[in-house]
Amino acid sequence: MQRFHPWVFSGAVKSIEGEVEDGDVVEVCLENGEFLATGHYQDGSICARLFSFTPVQADQAFWNHMIAQALDCRRKLGLPDGSQTDCYRLVHAEGDGLPGLIIDVYGPTAVIQCHSIGMHRSLEMLAGALRENFGNAITAIYDKSAEALPTEYASGVKNGYLFGEGGPHEVKEYGHSFWVDWESGQKTGFFLDQRENRRLAGHYARDKKVLNAFCYTGGFSVYALKAGARFVDSVDVSRKAMEITDRNVALNGIGPALHQSHTEDVMAFLKAAGPDYDMMIVDPPAFAKSLKKRHNAVQAYKRLNALAMSKLNAGGILFTFSCSQVVDRQLFYDTIVAAALEARRQVRVLHHLSQPPDHPVNIYHPEGEYLKGLVLYVG
């Protein structure tokens, strides 16, 4: 029975017919010759990433159709035409049937990030598909793939504009203003996957003293302050991230009396902090990107969350996250239980959090659910 998983592992391949190079479009068949799927070949443990389970020609018409499908899904979410939000994820790799491809939209600019050689070799047609589907609504297309591609191949790749020109600019998310730098920022410039969780954090923040740890460009800080937080401390080890955080706070009309930025290591900051926060957001980078590093990552999550809980006032609210794909939802939950035991706090789970609907999960590819979060009441 075909399971429609979009990856073919090299150990499942009996033979390869003909000469095949990284990025080639290939057909995957059973031993008897029965067609299974079409995808991109790449030498490695995942040797084929599948984008169609029917025979197709991966020509311009195909890419136009796939981008049209992704856009239709976002229109049903109310994203492309929303007056309050003009930044969102248009293509979420396997979640949209396009393994190895991320496309984020920031106002009139689309940012493409290819994680596979096949998708990168299709850049010209992908840019054409964006222009076909968006028309004049997209005035620039930026390729930011160099950081995401295999090292040897990426040595010959430079980021740059495929169409139009421009630079970082201001976007809106639920009416909040953010300065996004897709050229030199992390990922594609902004953590779009926390949109709904930022909105929920605003619901809890009124009249609270808040710590936003690993704040990057201050998304949670802005939502908390606009919702009426008494004071917010934002902490990140990146000086550039803190400069953009300050800019984003000012963009939203918030004075310096309500906010302070700290360019510091989060663990060092927490150890030195007094136990006087009413609410915390703990959203660290992925502590593990491979199964070999999972144990160490779990220990790091435990130490971090135990320390955070120890600095919360009784009745405090903790938003805590993991974006490590190899740390699944149950393991993350169990790790937070261990942290609560270590901190000796009474903890209640208020919400289980995930990524927003513009980061969909292919039902046949559960690995696509990478963002896990909990909202905790810490007694």
| Identity of residue 122 | S
Integer CA distances (angstroms), 247 to 113, 214, 224, 226, 289, in order: 26, 17, 16, 15, 31
How many whole angstroms separate alpha carbon 114 and alpha carbon 6? 16
Q: How confident is the model at residue 375 (pLDDT cuts 50, 70, 90)?
A: very high
pLDDT of residue 218: 97
Q: What is the mean pLDDT of residues 143-166?
A: 95
List pLDDT tens digits, range 105-119: 999 999 999 999 999
CATH number given to 7-52: 2.30.130.10
- Residue 156, pLDDT above cutoff 80: yes
Which residues, other chains included, contact 188 with Cβ-Cβ below 8 Å and sequence gap of 6+? 102, 104, 106, 111, 113, 144, 182
Amino acid symbol at 76: K
pLDDT at 289 (0 to 100): 66
- Note the pLDDT tens digit of each residue in 312-323: 999 999 999 999
**pLDDT band at residue 49 under the 50/70/90 scheme:** very high
CA dihedral 128, 134, 137, 142 (to 10 degrees): -40
Confidence (pLDDT) at 40: 98
Least confident of 59-63, 248-252, 273-277: 273-277
Q: Residue 288 has what pLDDT? A: 64
CB atoms within 10 A of CB 165: 10
CA distance 208 to 211: 10
Rounded alpha-carbon distances, angstroms, from residue 240 to 109, 175, 372: 22, 24, 26
Fold of 60-173: Transcription Regulator spoIIAA (3.30.750)
Same fold, 7-52 and 191-378: no
Give pairs for 329-336: CB < 8 Å, separation 24+.
329/369, 329/372, 331/294, 331/298, 332/301, 332/372, 332/374, 333/372, 333/374, 335/298, 335/301, 335/302, 335/305, 336/301, 336/305, 336/374, 336/376
Residue 216 reports pLDDT greater than 90: yes
Q: Which residues pair with 282 in a beta bridge?
A: 213, 320
Q: Count Cβ neighbours within 10 Å for each residue of 4-19 and write b for 16 or more, e otherwise.
A: eebbbeeeeeeeeeee
Identify the architecture of domain 191-378 in CATH: 3-Layer(aba) Sandwich (3.40)
Q: What is the mean pLDDT of the chain?
A: 95
**pLDDT at residue 239, as a whole number:** 95
**Tokens standing for 72?**
């239709």
**103 with 110: CB under 8 angstroms?**
yes
Residue boundaries of the structural domains of the chain = 7-52, 60-173, 191-378
pLDDT grade for 287, boundaries at 50, 70 and 90: confident
Task: Kindly list the catalytic residues.
Answer: 323
pLDDT score of 1 more than 80: no
Instruction: Decide: pTM greater than 0.85.
Output: yes
